[in-house]
Amino acid sequence: MTHRSCPTVSYALRIAKSLFSPNSDGACPTCHGQGVVYTDLAMMTGVSAPCEDCAGRRFRPEVLEYRVAGRDISEVLDMTVAEASTYFTQDAPSKPVAAALSLLRQVGLDYLRLGQPLTTLSGGERQRLKLASRIDGDAPVIVLDEPTTGLHLADTATLVEMMQNLVDAGHTLVVIEHNLAVIAAADHIIDIGPGAGHDGGQVVFEGSPAELVSASAQSANLTGRYLAAAVH
């Protein structure tokens, strides 16, 4: 996302791709493509202010003179994934971009802006971004750490379906998660407990979701108890 230049714009204009990256040749020389200027206040917390030379747009003035379909690169990077999906058509130069945007929408990241710094993403958003990058890949094992963090409940089912599709395609997913919908969809569960923090650290159960629910009836397994309530 953030660290790549725009191939469609550079293809259309037949100029260097590096001009359309705020991290390369096209960057504003004053703020170095950050859009803001940081001031160190020694013993106090530093402050930032919009760059006066580029007005926060991150690029050199000559780069912003190039437009495709009425938009310059700064305006394109300010689009959300959903907005960009209607901007980038299915013609030959735009097709790779449109395909990447489709993957981001599938994992529920259609609200992110194309130029949004990765440092502003939550842990769950980063995990879903990682998942989107693996959908069409051939990695045999994919590890995800709480990918539902920050995800709306309505989108969890879509995420679970995507993970199931990856498994059906031959991938192995190892998911660290507390979300009951994800746990219920797992083929195999390793439950760590019996409590949280210092009260945990032991494997208290291994098996399928159905076996966990059944075992919770004869034990004090908290995960199984809550899973049973969620399933029924």
Over range 198-226, report the average pLDDT. 89
Looking at the DSSP assignment, which residues form a beta bridge with residue 202?
Answer: 193
Quick one: pLDDT at residue 119?
A: 87
> DSSP string spanning the chain?
-TTS--HHHHHHHTS-GGGG-TTTTTB-TTTTTSSEEEE--TTS--EEEE-TTTTT--B-TTGGG--BTTB-HHHHHTSBHHHHHHHS-SSTTTHHHHHHHHHHHHTT-TTSBTT--GGGS-HHHHHHHHHHHHTTS--SEEEEE-TTTT--HHHHHHHHHHHHHHHHTT-EEEEE---HHHHHH-SSEEEEESSSGGG--EEEEEE-HHHHHHHHTSS--HHHHHHHHHH-
Burial of 40 (0-12, 13-18, 19+ CB in 10 A): exposed
Quick one: pLDDT at residue 10?
A: 62
Quick one: pLDDT at residue 168?
A: 92
What span, in angstroms and rounded, lies between the C-alpha atoms of 5 and 96? 13
Whether 205 contacts 174, CB under 8 Å: no
Q: How many residues in total does the chain contain?
A: 232
Which backbone phi and psi does 145 adopt, to 5 degrees? Answer: -110, 100
Q: Taking 80 as the threshold, does the pLDDT of residue 4 lie above it?
A: no
pLDDT tens, position by position, 7-32: 666 666 678 889 999 999 999 999 99
pLDDT tens, position by position, 32-49: 999 999 988 877 788 999
Please enumerate in sequence order all residues whose Cβ is within 8 A of that of 138, keeping only pairs 6 or more positions apart, or say none.
none
Quick one: pLDDT at residue 12?
A: 61
Q: Taking 60 as the threshold, does the pLDDT of residue 61 lie above it?
A: yes
Please enumerate in sequence order all residues whose Cβ is within 8 A of that of 97, keeping only pairs 6 or more positions apart, or say none.
6, 7, 8, 84, 88
Q: Is residue 84 part of a domain?
A: yes
Over range 51-71, report the average pLDDT. 94
Over range 137-151, report the average pLDDT. 88
**Is pLDDT larger for residue 112 or for residue 14?**
112
Domain of 54 in residue numbering reads as 1-120
Q: Is residue 179 part of a domain?
A: no
Domains identified in the chain, total number:
1
Quick one: pLDDT at residue 13?
A: 62
Q: Is residue 59 part of a domain?
A: yes
Over range 184-188, report the average pLDDT. 96
pLDDT band of residue 138 (cuts 50, 70, 90) is: confident
Q: Is residue 186 part of a domain?
A: no
Q: Taking 70 as the threshold, does the pLDDT of residue 147 lie above it?
A: yes
pLDDT band of residue 194 (cuts 50, 70, 90) is: confident
Q: Is residue 70 part of a domain?
A: yes
List the single range of 129-138, 168-177, 184-193 with lowest mean pLDDT.
Answer: 129-138
Which backbone phi and psi does 193 adopt, to 5 degrees? Answer: -170, -145
Q: What is the CATH number of the domain that holds 1?
A: 1.20.1580.10
Torsion, Cα 8 11 13 14, to 10 degrees, reads 160
What span, in angstroms and rounded, lies between the C-alpha atoms of 80 and 76? 9
Quick one: pLDDT at residue 3?
A: 41
